[in-house]
Amino acid sequence: MQQRLQAARSRWTLLTGLTTAPDLTVGAATDVSATAHPEHQFASLSTALARQRVELMRRSRRDAPELSVGVRQDTPGRAESSQGSLVVGLRLPLGTDDRNRPLEAAARTELEVAQTHEQRLRERLDSETAAARDAQRSALAQLDAETARARLLRERATLIDKSFRAGETPLPDLLRALAAAAQAEGAAARQTAALGLARARLQQAIGLLP
C-alpha cells in the first residue's frame, strides 16, 4: 500500500510539477469565483491590453516626433581650413484621418474580439463549475447514504452473529448477513473514491488543478 502511494505521488509530481497533493476535503477552496481561473485572468489581461490600445489610438493623432542629430564637414577651398558643424533636425508628422481611421478600426475590432472571448470563456467556466459542484454534492449525498447503509448492515450482521453463537440463528442466515455487510462496505469505499474524483474535477474546473 505504501509503495502504491509513493508511486502515485511520483506520478503526480511528474505530471504537475507539484510536490504536494491538492486538498480535496469538502468545501476546500470551492467558493473561488470563475474570475480567479487562470484562463479567465489571461483573457482579462488580453481585454485590458486591447482597451489600452484603443485608448492610445484615440489620444494619439500623429506619429511620435523624430529628432535627428548629425555632423556636417564643410571644405570651402584650398586656402581655407575645413569647418565642422552640428546639424539638428526635428520632424513633426501630421496625423490624418486616412491614417488614423484604419488603425483605430483595427484596435476596436481587437477589443471586441477580446471582450467576446472573455465573455464566452466566463460563461463556459461558470457552466463547468456549476456542473462540477452539482456532481460533488450528488457524490457526497450518495456517500452518506452508502455509509449509513453499510453501518446498519454491519450492525445487523453483528447481531445475527451473536444470535448464531447462541444457537438461535442458522449458519446460512449469518453468511448472508455478513455478505450483505461486506458488499455495502465495498460500495461505500467505491463511493468514497467517486467523491474524491468529483472533488478533483471541481478543483480542476475552478482552476486549482492542472
Taking 3-state DSSP, the helix, strand and coil percentages for the chain, each rounded to the nearest 5, stand at 70, 10, 25
Cα-Cα-Cα-Cα dihedral sign, residues 197, 199, 200, 204:
positive
Report the percent of the chain where pLDDT is more than 70. Answer: 65
Report the distance separating Cα 43 and Cα 46, nearest Å: 5
Q: From start to end of the chain, where are the E strands?
A: 66-74, 83-91
- Tell me what pLDDT residue 26 has: 46
Evaluate if residue 19 carries a pLDDT over 90.
no
Are 68 and 88 in contact by the 8 Å Cβ rule? The answer is: yes
Reported as a pLDDT band with limits 50, 70 and 90, residue 130 is very high
* Degrees to nearest 5, angle at CA 50 with 45 and 51: 95
Torsion of CA 103, 109, 115, 118, to 10 degrees: -100
* Pairing verdict, β 66-74 and 83-91: antiparallel
CA distances from residue 123 to 48, 120, 127 in whole angstroms, order as listed = 19, 5, 6
Report the distance separating Cα 20 and Cα 8, nearest Å: 11
Evaluate if residue 11 carries a pLDDT over 60.
yes
- Tell me what pLDDT residue 202 has: 92
Task: State in Å, rounded, how far the first CA of the chain is from the last one.
Answer: 26
Task: Determine the average pLDDT of the residues in 199-203.
Answer: 91
CA distances from residue 58 to 44, 51, 54, 61, 146 in whole angstroms, order as listed = 21, 11, 6, 7, 64
Cα-Cα-Cα-Cα dihedral sign, residues 176, 178, 179, 180:
positive
